[in-house]
Structure 1
Amino acid sequence: MNTVETDPDQRAFAPVTLDLGGLSLRPWGRATEILGGAVAGVLAAAADPAIARWNPIRATDRAGAEAYLDRCEAGWAGGAAAAFAVVDATDGTLLGNSALRWVDRADGLAMIGYWVLPAARGRGLATRVTRAVTAWGIATAGARRIEIAHAVGNDASCRVAERCGYPAEGTLRASHRYGDGAYHDEHLHARLATDPEPPVR
């Protein structure tokens, strides 16, 4: 993919709904259209053991879920972060999440993360969504480099990174405290705007 120089002042994530055909990526906020409501969706995700370990939301009640959604809205409002609810376009069921945020906005360096609810796992959803949000961030906000960092023990996240064209670059020792309270080594993957699109598997 070719890239052009982007004015740092134009590097902003603008709210948009992405249609992936059967999947709808909707900006997170209190009013996000999800079956049962956005607050209930956040609480369900926060209660899942895998999400609580690898992508902790730390929302145990309505107030905590609303605070999470407010932070997502603030990220969108400032153009600094793009948090998407991944929703079944047919019935509105929440399936997962994808979040892209600037690490160094002026330099075009961003980081992406994702989680998937149990009922939607094993279907390639995280790969499909990560590819789409990566392409969107490069094309619309001028991201130059996007990174994925995941705990060494999170094999599923490692597979997603590789399928999305994010080669492994190394191991970050004891770099992040996860939901179990311990610092974990992380694998660092990265995708450049100039990297070719990976083949669809």
Structure 2
Amino acid sequence: MELAQIWPPFGLRITTADMELAPTREADYGELAEIARGGVRRDGVQAFLVDWDSGTDEEIARSIAQYQWGTRANYRTEDWTLEFTVRVNGRVVGVQGISATDYPQTLSVTTGSWLALTEQGRGFGTRMRRALLTACAEYFDTRVFHTAYVEGNDASRRVSEKLGYRPNGEKLIVVQDGQAHREHQLVLDAADLVRDEGVGITGAEAVRRFLGLDAG
């Protein structure tokens, strides 16, 4: 059997112009570790719940691998996370993630992402999230998109603002520095999404069955 028959997300591809989002494979770990060398945050901004992008190159690489393995090992139809390696003209620039709980009933997802330091400020964060949201709305029936950012993470805030998210409350959470910080929560209805008209997708039908949307 082909690997995509065993794990249908591996057959999924989302493309737009020069950008491709494909579910992260073990073959991507080395490239992701390389672009994450030295961390992916500027000026000590707190951006993640887990401090995966601090430490030695080996520690960062191991954190990436362990997290990616975990998303597949812990998959359940009722609770899942899919991570996409993002490439521009074939060059790995970062990761776009999406997760959901009870998706067939809620049709609601939450997104998160990171970009290599050298790729930040070039519009890739907005493009890759818009491409994923468009694919979800058009091919996987998503109705509501959630996201959040830790206070001070202005880059994440700006991406959400560009895509039309609206405030949806805030709370205190403990993040990667072990301290409590204010988290701003945001929401976007699929009906309000300005979609990427250039998005193409392959492998959607098998993933719909995988997510419990269609009968197998």
Unaligned runs of 5+ in 1: 1-12, 33-37
Secondary structure at 1:147's aligned position in 2? Answer: strand
Change (3 A) 1:167 1:62: closer
The equivalent residue for 1:177 is 174
Structure 1 position 57, deviation (Å): 6.0
C-alpha displacement of 1:146 = 0.9
Q: Cα 1:115–1:134, aligned 2, differ >3 Å: closer, same or farther? A: same
Q: Is the 8 A contact 1:87 1:96 kept in 2?
A: yes
Q: Give the Cα–Cα distance (whole angstroms) in 2 for the partners of residues 84 and 157 of structure 1.
A: 18
- Distance verdict in 2 for CA 1:46–1:188, change over 3 Å: farther
* 2:32 corresponding residue in structure 1: 41
The corresponding residue for 2:69 is 70
CA distance in 2, matches of 1:149, 1:46: 25
Number of residue-to-residue matches in the alignment: 179
Q: Is the 8 A contact 1:99 1:114 kept in 2?
A: yes
Between the aligned partners of 2:107 and 2:188, the Cα distance in structure 1 is 12
More moved, 123-132 vs 72-81: 72-81
Distance in 2 (alpha carbons) for counterparts of 1:57 and 1:84: 20
Shift of 1:138: 1.8
- Answer with 78-87 or 181-190: which moved more: 78-87
- Alignment-derived partner of residue 10 in structure 1: none
Name the counterpart of 2:212. none
Q: Give the distance between the partners of 1:199 and 1:87, measured in 2 at CA.
A: 17
Residue 24 (structure 2) pairs with residue 28 (structure 1): yes
C-alpha change, 1:173 and 1:76, in structure 2 (3 Å) is closer
Q: Structure 1 CA distance, aligned partners of 2:171 and 2:160? A: 19
Identity %: 22
Question: Is the partner of 1:194 in helix, strand or coil?
Answer: helix
Structure scoring higher RCO (CA < 8 A, sep ≥ 6) equals: 2
Query: Do structure 1's residue 58 and structure 2's residue 49 form an aligned pair?
Result: no
Q: Which residue of 1 aligns with 2:3?
A: none
What TM-score do the two structures reach when normalised by structure 1? 0.75
Say which SS state the counterpart of residue 66 (structure 1) adopts.
Answer: helix
The residue aligned with 1:116 is 115
Distance 1:27 1:137 in 2: 14
Matched AA of 1:120: E
CA RMSD of aligned residues (A): 2.9
Distance 1:81 1:49 in 2: 21
Deviation at 1:185, TM superposition (A): 0.9
Q: TM-score, normalised by structure 2?
A: 0.70
Shift of the alpha carbon at 1:61?
Answer: 5.6
Indicate conservation of the 8 Å contact 1:178/1:184, yes or no. yes
**Structure 2: stretches of 5+ with no match in the other structure:** 1-7, 54-58, 198-216
Q: 2:95 aligns with which of 75, 94, 97?
A: 97
- In structure 2, C-alpha distance between the alignment counterparts of 1:95 and 1:76, rounded to whole Å: 25
Q: Quickly say closer, same or farther: Cα 1:77–1:30, change in 2 above 3 A.
A: farther
Q: Is residue 36–residue 60 contact of structure 2 (8 Å, CA) maintained in 1? A: no
Matching residue within 187, 194, 213 for 1:197: 194
